[in-house]
Amino acid sequence: MERRNFVKNACIYCLGATALGATFAELMSCSTSGLPIYKTGEVKNILVPLSLFAQSKVVVVRPSNSEFDILVVKKADNLYNAFLMECTHRENPLTATNTGLYCPAHGSRFDLDGNVTQGPATEPLQYYKVIINGDNAAINII
């Protein structure tokens, strides 16, 4: 096969395979894959069921009228932290995993305490206090 055709076809097929593979992964996903996501309406005090932390030590909270998600991290049985998932470098949305938060735009990294572990960000994440309220973790948004 001519090199030109090979390169052309290879790129097309790689892009197609990427799209198909990602689509397949998304369609096959269920609530057990990915981080738990808790959707909520506009609130000042968000109540997150503690039962969500049975499957993951981090939960993504999605207030309906907020520009960014909030990541709630279980540090210990009665100790939780919450951070706005907005990169403090250029205000890009962060990607969260069980080990930290990452900005795909310019490479900044934050640990699960919200501190910068890799620049170019220099400021820690916006922190929200979390208190235990019965069976819920209450995030106090000021």
Partner 1 sequence: MKKLTLLILIGFLPYLNASAQVLTPQDSLNDNLTANNIKSTQISGYGEAKVQYDTRFQTADADLTRNVLYVGHKFNNKISFFSEWEVEDAKVAGGQLGGEISLEQCFLKFNLNRDNYLVAGLFTPRIGIMNENHLPTTFNGNDRPFVETLIIPSTWREVGVGLYGDIRAIPGLNYSIGLVNGLNSAGFSANQGIGGDGLFEGRNATASNIALTGSLLYYIQNFRIQASGYYGGSAGLTQRKADSLQLESGPFGTPVGVGEFDVQYLTKAVTFKALGTIVDIPDAYEIDRAYANNTPQEMIGAYAEVGVNLLYFFNKTNERKFIVFGRYEYVDMAAQTPADGISNGADRQKYIVAGITYLPIKGIVIKADYVLRVSGTPNSLLNLNPFGPQPVYYTSNGYLNVGIGYSF
Q: Is 69 in the site for partner 1 (CB under 8 A)?
A: yes
Residue 63 Cα distances to 23, 85, 111, 113, angstroms: 26, 12, 22, 21
Among 3, 76, 77, 134, binds partner 1 (CB under 8 A): 3
Tokens of 105: 């735009």
Smallest gap from residue 128 Cβ to partner 1 (A): 9
H helix or E strand, kind and range, residue 26: helix 3-28
The answer to whether the beta carbons of residues 109 and 102 sit under 8 Å apart is yes
Q: How many residues in the shown chain lie near partner 1 by CB under 8 A?
A: 70
Among 71, 72, 73, 84, binds partner 1 (CB under 8 A): 84
Q: Is 57 in the site for partner 1 (CB under 8 A)?
A: no
- CB-side neighbour CA atoms (13 Å) of 15: 5
Among 78, 107, 132, 135, binds partner 1 (CB under 8 A): 107
The answer to whether the beta carbons of residues 111 and 103 sit under 8 Å apart is no
Q: Is 79 in the site for partner 1 (CB under 8 A)?
A: no
125 by Cβ neighbours in 10 Å (0-12 / 13-18 / 19+) ranks as: buried
> 80 vs 86, which CB is nearer to partner 1?
86
In the complex, which residues of this chain contact partner 1 (CB under 8 A)?
Answer: 2-4, 7-8, 10-12, 14-16, 18-20, 22-23, 25-29, 31, 33-44, 46-47, 49, 52, 62-70, 84, 90-91, 93, 95-100, 102, 104-107, 109, 116-120, 122, 141
